[in-house]
Amino acid sequence: MNLNNLNTIACPLDCFDTCEAILDGENIKANKEHPITKSKLCVNFANLLKEDFLENAFINKQKINLDESLDFLIKKLEETEPKKVLYYKGAGNLGVMQSSPKSFFAKYGATLTKGSLCDGAGDEGISLGRGFNINPPIENLIDSDIIIVWGRNLTVTSPHMYNLIKDKTFITIDPVKTKIAKKSEIHFQINPKTDHELALLFTRFAYMEDLEDEEFIQNNSSGAEDFFELAKERPIVSYEATTGISLSDVSKMFELIKGKSVSILLGIGPQKYYEGANIFRAIDSFAAFIGLHNKDKGGVWYLSDSNFGYEKKFQSQTLNKVDLPEVDFSKYDLVFIQGANPVVSAPNTKRVIEGLKNSFVIFFGTTFNDTCEYADVIIPSSNFKTKKDVRLSYGHEFKAISNNIENKNTNTISEYELTKYLFEQFDFEDLISEDEAVNYYKNLNPKRDFHIENFNFLEDLEVDNLYEDKDENQFYLLFGKRKENLNSQFESDNYLYLNSKCGFDEGDEVKASTSFGEANFIVKLDDDIKENCIVLYAGNKKANYLTNYKSDELSSSAVYQEALVRLELL
Ligand SMILES: Nc1nc2c(c(=O)[nH]1)N[C@H]1C(S)=C(S)[C@@H](COP(=O)(O)OP(=O)(O)OC[C@H]3O[C@@H](n4cnc5c(=O)[nH]c(N)nc54)[C@H](O)[C@@H]3O)O[C@H]1N2
Ligand SMILES: Nc1nc2c(c(=O)[nH]1)N[C@H]1C(S)=C(S)[C@@H](COP(=O)(O)OP(=O)(O)OC[C@H]3O[C@@H](n4cnc5c(=O)[nH]c(N)nc54)[C@H](O)[C@@H]3O)O[C@H]1N2
Ligand code: SF4
Ligand SMILES: [Mo]
C-alpha cells in the first residue's frame, strides 16, 4: 500500500471491508493496490458518490448561511448549562476525524454517551474472555480450511473479505438461509437466541471427539473445567428441541473439522440480546476449548477494536455519560446530533421522536435524513471527498486513507474545522493540528499481537430464554443488513418478511406488535427465513417502533432482538 498517494479516498461507511478508492482522471474507482479492496466497490459506495449532500445550513427549515448557524450554536452553548447539552454521535462516517467534535463537547462539560447500537455486547463478551478484542491477521483466515460463519451475512456485509475466501468450505449458523448458508456444507438453521446453547453442545461433542486443545487450556487459560461443567449440565438430546438443530448435523460438522484449521467469522446477529455479552463469551469459549486462538491458521473474527494500539488523539474523558440506547432526548435543553439518524436507527422510535420534539435539536450531518425533520438547526458537514481522514478497520488489519480530492462547498464545514472553531470560541487549548492527527493515524502501524496470554473461560451463564416466553402465535424478531443500503443511508426497504408457511400472503397489510410498541407493515414472503421468525432490514423506517430501549446486561448496548412479535391482519 502506498500511503502517500494523494489520490486515494477511504469509503467512510460503517462496514467491515474498509475499502479504499482512487481518483483516476475523472473517475473514482476501487484501489486495486489495497489488500482487501482489490476488486470493484459496492452499490453503497456508488450511492454515496451520487448522494444529494446538504449544501446549506437551516434554522427552522429556513435556509441560512453556515456562519449564522455557527453563531447560533455558540449562543446556545453559552446560554445552556453544559450538563444539559447532549452530544450524540452515530456511525454515518467512521473516519478517525469524526471523533474531534467529541473532544470539544467533553471539555465543555456536555453529557456524552457510552455503549453502542451495534456490536457492543459481543465486544464485551470477547474482551471478558481474552482481555482485548482484536482479530487475527487476515492471512490466518485465508490459510484456514474451514470457515464457520456465525450470525453474519458475510456476502452482503463484507463482500471484499468474502472475495478473498470464496472458495473455502463454509458452515453457516443463521436462522435465515443467507447466500453464504446456501453455499455452505452445513447450514444450522438455529432458533434465535440459542447460540450459547449451541456453543455448549459443540463443546460436548468436541470433548467426545477428543478435540479439546489441552496445551492451550493448560498454558493459556483459566476456568476451562467450569466451562465444561456448564456444557455437561444438560442431556445432549435436550439441545435439539431448544436450538432447532439436529445432533446428526453436529456430528457431520465434527467430521468435517477434525484435523482441519478452522476460522469463525462472527457477526452481530447472536449478540442483539440482553445477555449478548455472555452468549458471545460462550461462543469464544468453545473456540478456545478446541484451540482456535493463538494459531498460525484460523481463529475468531468479529468487529474488532479498530483503535487498538493507537493513542487517542482527541481526548474525551468525562464522567457525564448516559447509555446510548437509553438516551431520553427530552431530558436535555440542547441535543447535538452528529452523523446519526436516531429516528430510524435508535431503539423505540416513538420515544425517540417524543424526546426530540421536547428538546432543542442541532443536527450536524451530510444529508437531510429522517432526524432532520425534528431538528431546529441543521449544520451541513462537508462530504467525504473534501476532507482528510483515515479509516481504521474493525474487519481486518488494513486502513484506508482519505485525501481531499475535491474542493469543499464553502457553505459546509468538516468535523475538524467545527472543532477548531469551537475550541477558539471557548478559548480552549491543546487541540492537535489536523495534519498531525491525520499523519499519526496514517503512519502508525501498531503492533497487533493477537496472542492470548490467559483466556478466561465462561464459568456461569444465566440466560432468560425467549423460547420459554414465546407462544406459538408469536415470532422472533430478526434484523439484517441489505446489499442496497447502509443502515438508514440510501434507499430503505420497509417491508416485513416472513416464510410463506406462516399463513400470510404477499402484499397483506399487518399490524406487528411487541411489548414495546407497534407498527403496520406490508408483507413480503421469503422461504429462506425460518418459519418462526420475521425479518426487518436495517433502515426500515418502522422497525424500531417494535424495539426496547433498555441496555443489555453488561455493556450499555442495544438489544434489538429481545422481543417477540404478534401479527394481526388488517
Ligand atoms: N450492505 C451493507 N453492509 C453493511 C451494513 C449495511 O447496512 N448494509 N451495515 C454495517 C454494519 S453497521 C454492521 S454492524 C455490519 C453487521 O454485519 P452482520 O453481522 O453481517 O449483520 P447482519 O446483517 O445483522 O447479520 C447478522 C446475521 O445474523 C443472523 N441472526 C440474527 N439473529 C441471530 C441469532 O440469534 N443467532 C444467529 N446465529 N444468527 C442470527 C441474521 O439472520 C443475519 O443473517 O454490517 C455492516 N455492513
Ligand atoms: N431496526 C434496526 N435498527 C438498527 C440496526 C438494524 O439492523 N435494524 N442496526 C444498528 C447498527 S448495527 C448501527 S451501526 C446503527 C447505525 O445507526 P446510525 O449511527 O444512526 O447510522 P445511519 O443510520 O447510517 O445514519 C447516519 C447519518 O450520518 C450522516 N453522515 C454520513 N456521513 C457523514 C459525515 O461525514 N459527517 C457527518 N457529520 N454526518 C454524516 C448522514 O446524514 C446519515 O443519515 O443502527 C442500529 N439500528
Ligand atoms: S464494501 Fe463496505 S467499505 Fe467497501 S465500498 Fe462498500 S460500503 Fe464501502
Ligand atoms: Mo453496526
What is the distance in A from the centroid of ligand 3 to the CA of 14?
Answer: 8
**Å from CA of 286 to ligand 2 middle:** 33
Q: Which domains does the chain have, with CATH numbers?
A: 8-116+307-440 (3.40.50.740), 120-302 (3.40.228.10), 466-569 (2.40.40.20)
Alpha-carbon distance of 218 to 345, in angstroms, equals: 44
Whole-number Å distance between alpha carbons of 352 and 90:
14
- Does residue 561 line the site of ligand 3, with CB under 6 A? no
Q: Is 92 in the pocket of ligand 2 (CB under 6 A)?
A: yes
Neighbouring CB atoms inside 10 A of 192's CB total 27
Provide the pLDDT confidence category of residue 307 given band limits of 50, 70 and 90. very high
pLDDT of residue 500: 98
* Residue of 199, 258, 188, 276 lying closest to 234 (CA atoms): 199
- Residue count of the chain, please give it: 570
pLDDT over 90 (residue 39): no
| Angstrom distance (rounded) from CA 161 to CA 292 | 20
Q: Determine contact, residues 345/316, Cβ cutoff 8 Å.
A: no
- The CA-to-CA distance between both ends of the chain, in Å, stands at 56
Angle made by CA atoms 43, 266, 214, in degrees to the nearest 5 = 155
* Helix spans in 426-566 (H): 434-443, 466-469
Residue 44 carries which DSSP code?
A: H
**CB of 402 closer than 6 angstroms to any ligand 2 atom:** no
pLDDT score of 110 more than 80: yes
Q: How far is the CA of 116 from the centre of ligand 4 (A)?
A: 9
Q: Mean pLDDT, to the nearest integer, of 96-123?
A: 98
In what helix (H) or strand (E) does residue 120 lie, and over which residues does it extend? helix 120-130
Ligand 3 centroid to residue 298 C-alpha, Å:
24
Closest ligand to residue 161's CA: 3
pLDDT per residue over 44-73, tens digit each?
Answer: 999 999 999 999 999 999 999 999 999 999
DSSP line for 398-437: --EEE---SPPPTT-B-HHHHHHHHHHHTT---PPPHHHH
Task: Write out the three cell numbers for 232.
Answer: 455437561
- pLDDT exceeds cutoff 90 at 1: no
Distance CA 120, CA 557 (A): 5
Ligand nearest to the CA of 560: 2
**Residue minimizing CA distance to atom 35 of ligand 1:** 192
In short, whether 132's Cβ falls inside 6 Å of ligand 2 is: no
pLDDT at residue 390, rounded to an integer: 98
Ligand lying closest to the C-alpha of residue 539: 2
* Amino acid 235: pLDDT: 96
How far apart, in whole angstroms, are the C-alpha atoms of residue 374 and residue 351? Answer: 13
The answer to whether 523 and 507 are in contact (CB under 8 A) is: yes
CA 156 to ligand 3 centroid distance, Å: 10
**pLDDT for position 4:** 80
- The per-residue pLDDT for range 138-182, each reduced to its tens digit, is 999 999 999 999 999 999 999 999 999 999 999 999 999 999 999
Q: Rounded to whole angstroms, how far apart are CA atoms 565 and 192?
A: 13
- List all residues whose CB is within 6 A of at least one atom of ligand 1: 14-15, 44, 91, 118-119, 150-153, 156-157, 173-176, 178, 190, 192-193, 195, 267-270, 478-483, 485-487, 538, 561
Pairing of strands 334-338, 321-323: unpaired
Rounded to whole angstroms, how far apart are CA atoms 134 and 308?
A: 7
**What would the 3-class secondary structure string for 336-375 be?**
EEECCCHHHHCCCHHHHHHHHHCCEEEEEECCCCHHHHHC
Strand pairing category for 360-365 and 334-338: parallel
Decide whether any atom of ligand 2 lies within 6 Å of the 271 Cβ: no
- Determine the residue type at 134: I
Q: Which ligand is nearest to the CA of 265?
A: 1
User: What phi-psi label fits residue 83: left (phi over 0), alpha (psi between -120 and 50 degrees) or beta?
Assistant: alpha
Given a contact cutoff of 8 angstroms between Cβ atoms, the answer to whether 415 and 366 are in contact is no
Cα–Cα distance measured from residue 35 to residue 39, given in angstroms and rounded to the nearest whole number: 10
Contact 142, 164 (CB under 8 A): yes
The percent of residues above 90 in pLDDT, for the chain, comes to: 99
Task: Please tell me if the CB atom of residue 101 comes closer than 6 angstroms to any atom of ligand 2.
Answer: no
**What is the rounded CA–CA span in Å between residue 380 and residue 395?**
29
CB contact burial 137-152 (16+ within 10 A = b; e otherwise): ebebbeebebbbbbbb
Ligand 3 atom having least distance to the Cα of 37: 4
Sequence-ordered list of residues with C-beta below 8 angstroms from that of 478, at least 6 positions apart, any chain: 175, 176, 192, 269, 529, 533, 534, 535, 536, 561
Measured from the Cβ of residue 1, the count of other Cβ atoms closer than 10 Å reads: 14
Q: Please provide the average confidence, as pLDDT, over all residues in the chain.
A: 97
Summarised one tens digit per residue, pLDDT across range 337-378 is: 999 999 999 999 999 999 999 999 999 999 999 999 999 999
| Beta carbons within 8 Å of 245's beta carbon, 6+ residues apart | 188, 189, 190, 198, 201, 239
Residue pair 462/526 in contact (Cβ under 8 Å)? The answer is no
Digit-coded pLDDT (tens) for 72-87: 999 999 999 999 999 9
**pLDDT of residue 3 exceeding 80:** no
Residues forming beta bridges with residue 173, ordered by sequence position = 150, 188
Distance 489 CA to ligand 2 centre (A): 7
Sheet containing 62-64: order of strands = 62-64, 57-59, 377-380, 360-365, 334-338, 85-89
Give per-residue pLDDT as tens, 257-303.
999 999 999 999 999 999 999 999 999 999 999 999 999 999 999 99
| CB 367 less than 6 A from any atom of ligand 2 | yes
467 CB near ligand 2 (under 6 Å): no
pLDDT at res. 2:
74
Distance 103 CA to ligand 4 centre (A): 23
Residue of the nearest CA to atom 4 in ligand 1?
157
Ligand 3 within 6 A of CB of 45: yes
- Model confidence pLDDT, tens digit, residues 421-457: 999 999 999 999 999 999 999 999 999 899 999 999 9
Give, using CA atoms, the residue closest to atom 2 of ligand 3: 15
| Ligand 4 centroid, distance to 205 Cα (angstroms) | 33
The kind and range of the H/E element at 568 are strand 564-569
Contacts of 235 (CB under 8 A, 6+ apart): none
523-551 average pLDDT score: 98
Ligand 2 close to Cβ of residue 336 (< 6 A): no
pLDDT score of 380 more than 90: yes
This model's pTM is above 0.85: yes
Burial of 327 (0-12, 13-18, 19+ CB in 10 A): buried
Q: Do the Cβ atoms of 403 and 7 come closer than 8 Å? A: yes
| Proportion of the chain above pLDDT 70, given as a percent | 100
Rounded-to-integer distance, Cα 546 and Cα 86, Å:
25
